[in-house]
Amino acid sequence: MNEGRNESRKEEGAAQARPDRKRVSTLYDGVLGSDRAALARAITLIESRLESDIDDAQELLGRLLPKTGQALRIGITGVPGVGKSTFIETFGLHLIEQGHRVAVLAVDPSSSLSGGSILGDKARMHRLSQRSEAFIRPSPSQGSLGGVAGRTRETMIACETAGYDVVLVETVGVGQSETTVAEMVDVFLVLMLPGAGDELQGIKRGVLELADIVAVNKADGDNKARATLAQTEYASALRYMGLRADGSPRTARTVSALTGDGVPSLWKEIESYAQSLSDGAFLEAQRRRQRTHWLRTLLEEALLQRLRQDPDVEPRLAEAEEAVAEGKVTPLFAVRDILRHL
Ligand SMILES: Nc1nc2c(ncn2[C@@H]2O[C@H](COP(=O)(O)OP(=O)(O)O)[C@@H](O)[C@H]2O)c(=O)[nH]1
Ligand SMILES: [Mg+2]
């Protein structure tokens, strides 16, 4: 494999030799040494689309990969305003109290659209961001990475090897992002607002199907009773949504990100679920399946890209479209013809 890469590099001519081993080694040592600045630079490299960076990033990830797998990966989703940022602050601080180191990654296509939301998030996670045991990486700017989650999986690898033993991946329930995130974490937590009646409708059912745990947030003050009612409704809805990876039922509970009520017991549940996953070898099975899924996703993306960039394909595609439109050939025939030339 490496030889193949060397060959293609030779063809590129006299540019800087890739991978740049010195740069990669410096980043590797920094990340393994839990140097935050090095971790941040490593992630920037991983997210880069510059051709010259991609080889270095792959080299770095290849070296880091064998050192991963120890962290617990938790996905957190919910509609804007449900309290994700507030929850992550409270939850993250609780985890640190318990002796953990926490990385927070955001897959949030909406926050890059409105600067306001990023500023709000910063304020809401202020105390967490001040802690040396926490590392918070805001979402990369939109469209810079391709795909819903861009390089979040790879970023997770870097965070784990830097010693963060709990990785929180935050996403907004928009489009496909929650499915993508559910495919890269061990435990998927869905935050809901009090007032289940309205929420059980529409697209949120789909989100519910991904949930290992539903937490109705804002269970404080006047909202408490409504939150408890919502919890009961979610609990009964979850009964029809199959079992978790270890065969246990999905659960619903209430929390208050504001007061911290319910946060310690939620963490206890996550811990015991994670324990059950690894005791029964379900964790490794799930991760194996997720890695395979990721391979296929990347392969599909890469194939599509090759198809779009292939200079032979474009004229053929135009011809094929014409022929298919006129009913001269079947679409299937045209597809096979194009693929033969790829
Ligand atoms: N009463 C109450 N308000 C909350 C709670 N969690 C978040 N909020 C408020 O809900 C609003 C949205 O919270 P935020 O964390 O930014 O939500 P996000 O958009 O999901 O990240 C803010 O005004 C928070 O102060 C909670 O547990 N109880
Ligand atoms: Mg937020």
Of the listed ranges 103-107, 197-201, 324-328, the one predicted with least confidence? 197-201
Classify domain 2-65 by CATH number: 1.20.5
How far, in Å, is the centroid of ligand 1 from the Cα of 129? 17
Q: Which region holds residue 16: left if phi is over 0, alpha if psi is between -120 and 50, else beta? A: beta
Of residues 69 and 59, more confidently modeled? 59
* Gap between the Cα atoms of 171 and 79, Å rounded: 9
For residue 6, pLDDT over 60 is answered with: no
Q: Nearest-CA neighbor of 65 among 102, 22, 21, 31? A: 31
How far apart (Å, rounded) are the C-alpha atoms in residues 297 and 46?
A: 18
Tens of pLDDT, residues 132-171? 999 998 766 544 444 555 788 899 999 999 999 999 999 8
How far from each other are the two terminal CA atoms of the chain, in whole angstroms? 22
**Ligand 1 atom closest to the CA of 80, numbered from 1:** 19
**Is the C-alpha dihedral spanning 289, 251, 269, 73 positive or negative?**
positive
Residues with CB under 6 A from ligand 1: 78, 80-86, 120, 124, 217-218, 220, 256-258
Ligand nearest to the CA of 89: 1
pLDDT of 204 reads 66
More confident residue, 47 or 93: 93
Flag whether pLDDT at 203 surpasses 60. Answer: no
User: Which residue's CA is the closest to the ligand 1 atom numbered 3?
Assistant: 218
Q: For 211-248, write each residue's pLDDT tens digit.
A: 999 999 999 999 999 999 999 999 998 998 889 999 99
Backbone φ and ψ for 221, nearest 5 degrees, come out as: 50, -135
Integer CA distances (angstroms), 76 to 28, 138, 310, 313, in order: 29, 14, 39, 41
Sequence-separated (6 or more) residues with CB below 8 Å from residue 205? none
Ligand 1 mean position, distance from CA 257 (Å): 7
Instruction: Give CATH 3.40.50.300 domain extents, the chain.
Output: 68-283
d(CA 118, ligand 2 centre) in Å: 7
Output the average pLDDT for the chain: 86
**With 70 as the cut, is the pLDDT of residue 196 above it?**
no
Fold of 68-283: Rossmann fold (3.40.50)
Residue 12 has pLDDT above 60, yes or no: no
Ligand 2 centre to CA of 64 (Å) is 30
For residue 35, which phi and psi values (nearest 5 degrees)?
A: -80, 115
Q: How many contiguous H segments (helices) and E segments (strands) does the chain have?
A: 16, 7
Contacts of 70 (CB under 8 A, 6+ apart): 160, 165
> What are the residues whose beta carbon lies below 5 Å from ligand 2 (ion)?
84-85, 121
Question: Rounded to an integer, what distance in angstroms lies between the CA atom of residue 65 and that of residue 287?
Answer: 14
CA distances 297 to 81, 111, 180, 302, Å, are 30, 24, 10, 9
Reported confidence tier of residue 197, pLDDT bands at 50, 70, 90? low
3-class secondary-structure state, position 67: helix
238 contacts: CB under 8 Å, gap ≥ 6:
208, 211, 214, 249, 250, 251, 252
Both structure tokens of 257: 């990100």
Beta bridge partners of 111: none
Burial 233-257, CB ≥16 within 10 A → b, else e:
bbbebbeeeeebbbeeebbbbbbbb
Probe residue for ligand 1, chosen from 76, 86, 199, 217 as the CB with the greatest number of ligand atoms within 8 Å: 86
**Looking at residue 175, what is its pLDDT?**
62
Which residues, in sequence order, are bridge partners of residue 73? 167
Angle at 63 between CA 62 and CA 64, to 5 degrees: 95
Print burial letters for 259-288: b (CB count within 10 Å at least 16), e (below 16). eebbbeebbebbeebbebbeeeebbeebbe
Lookup: tokens for 160: 């784990």
pLDDT tens digit sequence for 285-326:
999 999 999 889 888 878 888 888 888 888 888 899 999 999
DSSP string of 282-318? HHHHHHHHHHHHHHHHHHHHHHHHHHHH-TTHHHHHH
Paired tokens of 48:
């880069």
pLDDT band for 116, please (50, 70, 90 cuts). Answer: very low
Q: Are 102 and 194 in contact (CB under 8 A)?
A: no
CATH 1.20.5 range(s) for the chain read 2-65
pLDDT in tens, 15-40: 567 889 999 999 999 999 999 999 99
Residue 2: per-residue pLDDT = 45
The whole-model pTM stands at: 0.86
